[in-house]
Amino acid sequence: MLTGTKAGAYGVGRRGPAPGGRAGAALLLVLPLALASAQTLDALAPLPPSAAPFRHDLALLAGHVSAAAAARADQVAAAAADLERTYWALSWALEATPEAGYELDVARDRGGWEAGFEVELELGAERDENAILRARAALAAAEGRYRAQRRADLRAGLLALSQERLARRQLADAEAEAEEAAASLAAAQGSGAGAPELVSLEVAASLAALDLEREQLGYRPRARVLAELGVADEPASGDHLLQGPVPSGVRAAPTHQQAAALALAVDRAALRVRDLPFENVREVEVTASYRAGGLQVGAELGLRGGVPTADAQLGWRSGDGAHRVGLGVSATLLLSDASSRRPSLALAELDLARRTQAAYEAGRAEREHEALRLLELAYAELHVLVVARDAAADELAAARSAGRDAARLEAAARRAEDAAERAWQRYVRALFDYLDTHDAVLDATAP
């Protein structure tokens, strides 16, 4: 009988294709072989050693970083650097003003050139909470895109390698059918068969040759597939993989990208509510300055739109000047017909952001549970069909050893092999959905 290690693992609805249709037909075809080979099959236990090709593919691609993923990683680094700069936005400016002019005293009929020079260095800093939140959102989005790229690369790579195995077997079948058709035609021609039979055999041989050429044109060898993926086909131990539905090496993000985006949206909406007073008091500034001769020193502390700022100036101007000390306070107020509407709009935006976040969090556990169940279903189906494939291969080998007619068993073994390969593809898609639901990637792990 079939047993599952998790209660209800086989009674959950699934997003992907159910074991009905072609998958169900293949399962019904080879399931007796699997049951004959083992009285009890724990479908969520480690896959048998014959699943080595699947393990090898997974070991090759786990942790692989493609060129596209590397570009995404560069975007993450750039976003992180931008966030660091945003925490205290520092700025500087150096301004130089050379002056020259000619002045003519018409009454005295005297004139002369006057020259001057002024230079000023200004340093500034501000802490804009809204800019910081935007930078944090940009970093979270960049990290999410990187993980999504890694998942997409894993899915595409595993499916491409699996499809190569299917295409290789289809090419071998087409070669065998073409050889058989050509041999039948040659035998008929050698035996002096009649024209109608020869025409029929010629048509069959031509169609088989066309099918063979079509398969040859569409086939991409494994080495080419790996080269396109940027992966070297090196020995990779995958014995530690596929010991259960969730492979080792799954690493989830500390915070799901969507959860981070919603949390930051709440923070930005809350900040807009806190900054409502500054919709009317746009700017408050305290200034101080000192001048002695040509030297000028100044400082400003301000609150502009709720953003604290600090500026300092150091300058020099040619010519003489008296000692001066200046202090000042200024404020900019704004009242408009929109002033009364802004608080209600800001509060409504905050309420919507919080409700959206709450709805996401409320459904998160169910989504993760469903993704795990679907992965368990796909793994269980894969396990059953791998065992069935092994049983079909064993029965075929026994028939050949005994000298019995094995044509029917050869066809059954071939169908069982294709069914296991397609079950692997369904597992890969379920694994992608599971990783996507958890915003996780599959990293390489030591056996």
What pLDDT, in 10s, does the model give residues 369-417? 999 999 999 999 999 999 999 999 999 999 999 988 888 998 899 999 9
Q: How many CA atoms lie within 13 A of 132 on its CB side?
A: 11
SS3 content of the chain, % helix, strand, coil (to 5): 60, 20, 25
**Single pTM value for the model:** 0.78
**∠ CA 398-404-409 to the nearest 5 degrees?**
65
CA distance 328 to 239: 75
- The pLDDT of residue 341: 75
- The pLDDT of residue 31: 52
- The pLDDT of residue 10: 34
State which residues of the chain have pLDDT below 50.
1-27, 37-39
- The pLDDT of residue 19: 42
Instruction: Return all residues near 224 (Cβ < 8 A) that are at least 6 apart.
Output: none
Residue that has been written with the tokens 């159910």 in this structure: 18
